[in-house]
Amino acid sequence: AKTHHRTFIIQETPCTRLCNTKNILTVNGQYPGPTIYARNGDTVVVKVINQGNKNITLHWHGVNEPRNPWHDGPEYITQCPIKPGANFTQRIQFTEEEGTLWWHAHTDFDRATVHGAIVIHPRKGSTFPFPKPDKEVTLILGEWWNADVNEVLKKAQMTGGDVDPSDANTINGQPGDFLPCSQNDTFKVQVQQGKTYLLRMINAALSNEYFFAIAGHRLTVVGKDGSYTKPYSTDYIMITPGQTMTILLKADQLKNSSSPSRYYMAARPYNGNLLVRSDLNVTTAILEYRTNINTFPTMPLFASLPEINDTNAATAFTAGLRSLASWDHPVDVPKTINEHMYISIAVNTVPCPGNFNCSGPLGNKLAASLNNASFENPPIDVLDAYHYSIPNVYTPDFPNKPPFFFNFTEDMDIIPPELFLTQKSTKVKVLEYNTTVEIVFQGTNILGGENHPMHLHGHSFYVVGAGFGVFDKEKDPLSYNLVDPPYENTIGVPKNGWVAIRFKAANPGVWFMHCHFERHTIWGMDMVFITKNGNTTDGKMLPRPHDMPRC
Ligand code: C2O
Ligand code: CU
């Protein structure tokens, strides 16, 4: 195992998209940012230098960071932000993760431009659980706003309304052939007939779930988040913010001299609730066969994608993902559960304080909640408050169930008013070391209803079940998959359905759990787990680093 050293300089960089130039925050001037390469077992030490104009933190999404919450990154959860002019050195250790992950800013809306891929190869002497591809290609899906992203955030906060939709969807930072001033920079992948390519896909978007397909080609998913899956052949994928997929692509379509040599790769939002968002542009990249048969550049063949609101297509894709569950990559699903949690996910409104002029929907500010608690960032980070036993920063009373029961999937006009309004709080759930946890996330229809990509820091979890409607605690567990459930860090919870996950709290520390739609994160669709130290040395948090940023 090796230790790699990297320097990440946060800086303002001019960037031109959609005919306009503006300054964006980047790492080392790159957008998307630099890729981190490592092998399973390696450590990467990143010196983060903030030469930007605002506070920032960086998070290594999907890396468990065993015993080391100090370097996990979410602002006011595990650290105070790195101020302009300050530095912070973070260690990223890969102990079980293998495949495709990513890193991103974990402050405000900075993640829109401050993100990049993490590629983790098998340990030396070990191999992929599939034939070695000829080449690897990283494809990052994202969104572009013409306005400054933090102005977009401020505007939404001031009006109490929703966040303006993005102006373009992007592949590797490029809007593609169908958006203004973009054609010359469309991302292209050159391939050779007969070769196999490994696509490393990341959904870095703030708000959009995507369908993605390549014209004329099938995709074989072989990895999801930080672990391998059974090879899963499909015409399209659905990927939600925070998720990553590793996909094999066989370039097998240049069959004769009349075959087209160029094919579109395309992504378009999947949106189960068209009332909520409307940034619907298709973003494209091009797969181009290297050949001297077709000398004339022809219009690429168009990719066919499921309809924007095709929930059946989205659900069918996700339901097909299975862990590899091989001798080399065994599954270890907790069978006895110590903590059963049932978490309702909702977008609500908060009562307007005194004379504040709230002009959001219904005259209130939008809020979001888990078990009717709308999470508020504390003024100093939860980890320090826990470590130094500082009172009044958080309360250890995150409930195991929603405070009220009702049919979560009914129309919103019959929802009890207590659930429509919510209060701000900073509630955490404290777990004993090695507790086995099952969480059933219950999607709701409150305020229209959306899918929510729930992401847990510090752990991967097994997705043992999913379904539509209200979770039935007698019947639904009978259909759990405990044999080869996918092992993930971000799972989409359908608006009218539920998802069940299991994990073991064997990582002492403070770990954030939240919806990976950035606007829901800031509205409070978050909570925190504190896993206490175990008795042995390797069951305890590492010592607090000396260079932790100060609040
Ligand atoms: Cu990818 Cu807490 O985030
Ligand atoms: Cu959400």
Helix (H) or strand (E) holding 463: strand 461-468
Residue 111 beta carbon below 6 angstroms from any ligand 1 atom: no
Instruction: Quickly state the pLDDT bin for 126 (edges 50, 70, 90).
Output: very high
- Please report which ligand is nearest the Cα atom of 519: 2
CA–centroid distance, residue 413 to ligand 2 (Å): 20
CA–centroid distance, residue 20 to ligand 1 (Å): 29
Q: Is 334 a domain residue?
A: no
Q: Is 545 a domain residue?
A: no
Instruction: Quickly state the pLDDT bin for 445 (edges 50, 70, 90).
Output: confident
| Phi, psi values for residue 413, rounded to 5° | -75, -15
What residues form DSSP beta bridges with 8? 48
By alpha-carbon position, which residue is closest to atom 1 of ligand 1? 61
Pair (275, 408) in one structural domain: no
- Closest ligand 1 atom, CA of 102? 1
Pair (315, 352) in one structural domain: no
Q: What one-character-per-residue DSSP string does 209-233 give? A: EEEEEETT--EEEEEETTEEEEEEE
Residue 61 beta carbon below 6 angstroms from any ligand 1 atom: yes
Pair (292, 163) in one structural domain: yes
Residue 71 beta carbon below 6 angstroms from any ligand 1 atom: no
Angle at 154 between CA 274 and CA 526, to 5 degrees: 65
Pair (241, 169) in one structural domain: yes
How far is the C-alpha of 72 from the C-alpha of 187, rounded, in Å? 31
Whether 363 shows a pLDDT value over 70: the answer reads no
Greater model confidence, 364 or 189: 189
Q: Is 333 a domain residue?
A: no
Pair (377, 519) in one structural domain: yes
Whether 261 shows a pLDDT value over 70: the answer reads yes
Tens of pLDDT along 224-244? 999 999 999 999 999 999 999
Whether 85 shows a pLDDT value over 80: the answer reads yes
Pair (182, 243) in one structural domain: yes
> What is the per-residue pLDDT for 448?
64
Q: Is 164 a domain residue?
A: yes
How far is the C-alpha of 212 from the C-alpha of 373, rounded, in Å? 34
> What is the per-residue pLDDT for 50?
98
Q: How far apart are the first and last CA of the chain?
A: 35
Residue 59 beta carbon below 6 angstroms from any ligand 1 atom: yes
Q: Is 551 a domain residue?
A: no
Tell how strand 428-431 and strand 526-531 pair up: parallel
Residue 398 beta carbon below 6 angstroms from any ligand 1 atom: no
Residue 115 beta carbon below 6 angstroms from any ligand 1 atom: no
Domain that holds residue 93: 1-126
Instruction: Quickly state the pLDDT bin for 444 (edges 50, 70, 90).
Output: confident
CA–centroid distance, residue 94 to ligand 1 (Å): 17
Pair (103, 153) in one structural domain: no
Last residue of a domain, one of 81, 97, 126: 126
The residue written with tokens 């992948």 in the block is 189
How far is the C-alpha of 98 from the C-alpha of 63, rounded, in Å? 10
Pair (120, 142) in one structural domain: no
> What is the per-residue pLDDT for 358?
64
The residue written with tokens 């894709």 in the block is 317
Least confident of 277-281, 347-351, 469-473, 523-527: 277-281
Query: Are 433 and 534 in contact, with CB atoms under 8 Å apart?
Result: yes
Pair (384, 448) in one structural domain: yes
| Phi, psi values for residue 441, rounded to 5° | -85, 130
Pair (310, 369) in one structural domain: no
Nearest to 140, CA basis, from 171, 167, 111: 171
CA–centroid distance, residue 150 to ligand 1 (Å): 18
- Closest ligand 1 atom, CA of 490? 1
Percent of the chain with pLDDT over 70: 92
CA–centroid distance, residue 320 to ligand 1 (Å): 24
Residue 74 beta carbon below 6 angstroms from any ligand 1 atom: yes
* Residue 269 belongs to domain with CATH number: 2.60.40.420
CA–centroid distance, residue 185 to ligand 1 (Å): 29
> What is the per-residue pLDDT for 530?
98
Last residue of a domain, one of 325, 351, 366: 325
CA–centroid distance, residue 391 to ligand 1 (Å): 26
Pair (116, 224) in one structural domain: no
Whether 295 shows a pLDDT value over 90: the answer reads no
Q: Is 271 a domain residue?
A: yes
Q: Which two tokens stand for residue 71?
A: 């370097």
Query: Are 510 and 523 in contact, with CB atoms under 8 Å apart?
Result: no
| Phi, psi values for residue 522, rounded to 5° | -75, -20
Pair (440, 532) in one structural domain: yes
Number of structural domains (the chain) is 3
Q: Is 221 a domain residue?
A: yes
> What is the per-residue pLDDT for 502?
98
Nearest to 249, CA basis, from 293, 289, 281: 289
Last residue of a domain, one of 126, 153, 183: 126
> What is the per-residue pLDDT for 347?
85
Whether 62 shows a pLDDT value over 90: the answer reads yes
Q: Is 547 a domain residue?
A: no
